[in-house]
A = this chain, B = another copy of it.
């Protein structure tokens, strides 16, 4: 078990009865000039926008709307400008991972003279300049951004989609599962797979004996596996939405990495797909994950897969290798059961024009030499090719 430091300052308000009563003070504690950020307007359709604006009565609210999925650096630039012009004290982000991710970087860009893409490329600059306080209202259970330092920002000019860490977690996060009742089946599935993948990136490591953390991960895995299909069938099932929401937070607030090593694999590979083809992140992860598992299953990695099989999937098959294979198939089956494509052609990627350059970039950007099972560019290219058909999973 490795040493660690951990500190988590986010004030979590979980449930349906917090926003109207508490949002005003949660925001106003940081000042009266508020930058309200959101996405494409679904919060207007749902009535959430009106609820939020009503609670902000008396504060000076500037708005930045139109933040897209896979948030673009252009939105950050716009936010930077608004933050400076309006002497913003606090950002209120209402939306999913994209809105919150962009708002975190805007929070630093507000103190920066140059182009904010430089902050994405060099997070040490953000540590120096700081970050505006961020209050958020989460509307999609997926990325865990509501309780961590991270953002993922895309630059379509350079075909880059980069993770970047800021100096602060959100100050206050309102997590109301009811706000996700209206999330589409597609986004519900993608978000659930994203959570599953965050767990996977941290669970499969070469560290040893971090059993409290591995046990935590196994518990979250089981909750996501159980409740994602329920949320698809019954979009207004509160307990399904609540478990997915809390799972998204707990999967990536740092607790699931404590005492372990941390070389991520599938996320950096998928980021290439999203950067080149703008596909839904979670769906890309669902396509890649079972292929990756199958590819790296070997004698050295077998014990971790056996534990995954027994503690996550409840597989009782006594033969270890068969149990591991069953768990990988179960992972594929679970993704497929969420009614999303399980191949690259299924998301519109029919030709392999970019596989070599994407594979090289994934290895370099993702430092895949440090992964649970180190991968070369030709390994990653192989995973892309394997993802072109259902071979090996639906024979």
Contacts and interface: CB of A to CB of B under 8 A. Distances in A.
The quantity of this chain's copies bound in the complex is: 2
Given A6-B12, A12-B6, A212 B223 contact: yes
Interface in A8-22: 8-18
Contacts of A6: 11-12, 14
A133 interface: no
B208 A216 contact: no
Contacts of A7: 9-12
Contacts of A255: 255
Contacts of A212: 219-220, 223, 243, 246-247, 250
B243 A209 contact: yes
Interface residues of A, number: 47
B8 A8 contact: yes
A9 B10 CA distance: 8
A222 interface: yes
Contact of A217 (B2, B219, B243, B316): B219
A3 interface: yes
Contact of A246 (B8, B9, B258): B258
A226 interface: yes
Contacts of A218: 215, 218-219
A214 B239 CA distance: 13
Contacts of A17: 3
A218 B223 CA distance: 12
A5 interface: yes
Contacts of A220: 212, 215-216
A18 B6 CA distance: 13
A227 interface: yes
A328 interface: no
Interface of A: 1-18, 208-223, 226-227, 238-239, 242-243, 246-247, 250, 255, 258-259, 316
15 contacts: A1-B243, A3-B14, A3-B15, A3-B16, A4-B15, A8-B8, A209-B242, A211-B222, A211-B226, A212-B243, A212-B250, A215-B220, A215-B222, A216-B220, A255-B255
